[in-house]
Structure 1
Amino acid sequence: MFWLTRVRSHSMAPTLRDGSLALTRKLGRRTPIRRGDLVVVDSPELGEPVVKRVIGLPGERVTIAGGRVSIDGRALSEPYASPSMFNDSYQVPPAHYFLLGDNRDASSDSRTWRQPFVERAALVGRLWTGWRH
């Protein structure tokens, strides 16, 4: 099943602009989730569906320091993201994901949510990017 998702913030700029529409495909229960996927998450904290990028997978340690993100000690190449001065470290629990916006200093995401880790069931769709899926 496909639908159009409207981006309702600047958190994914420059990848996605506020107000833009993106073709989205429903995620089945067994659809694999990969790092870098752009997903629609049904956020109970924000009370609405939002678009974010999958950064941390179940069981990984995500470290953000000096504007760089590392996964289990290896720097992540993120040409799509703006650097941020935010610093912290997270251990992603089983069956959960760590999500960030590409416009790091303008994004409400796993770094700022009361519950930073998102259950698999809350990931409802993946945006079609035209080159990866």
Structure 2
Amino acid sequence: MIRFLKGLILLPIAIVVVLLAVANRQPVMLSFDPFSDGAPAFSLQMPLYALIFAAVALGIVVGGVGSWLGQGDTRRDRRAKGRELARLRGEAERLRQTSSATIPGTRTALPAPISRA
């Protein structure tokens, strides 16, 4: 069902992208020299659709990097909690072994830990 909905959404987007590329094949000059109007020192001739696609791709990359950097605190907190969880599980296991070794003849065991991984 999810695959069908993805196709239903992505197919019209793909059609629009192809139509955009076909309709905007004419070359445009991308100038990196803001001070020269006539003959810019740093310029590039490219199709308009390539310029648009490059701008969208750059926006996706910059947005992804910004999102990744913004979630640094969450990742750090998750790592710290994972270390604490491993330490507490080790301590619980040590206490289980200690309690069964201290009281000989008893089979009292702590319940097994709940695995959430």
* Fold similarity call, TM over 0.5: no
Normalising by the smaller structure, the TM-score range is under 0.3
Provide TM-score, normalisation by structure 1. Answer: 0.20
- More helix per residue: 1 or 2? 2
Provide TM-score, normalisation by structure 2. Answer: 0.22
- More strand per residue: 1 or 2? 1
Larger gyration radius, structure 1 or structure 2: 2
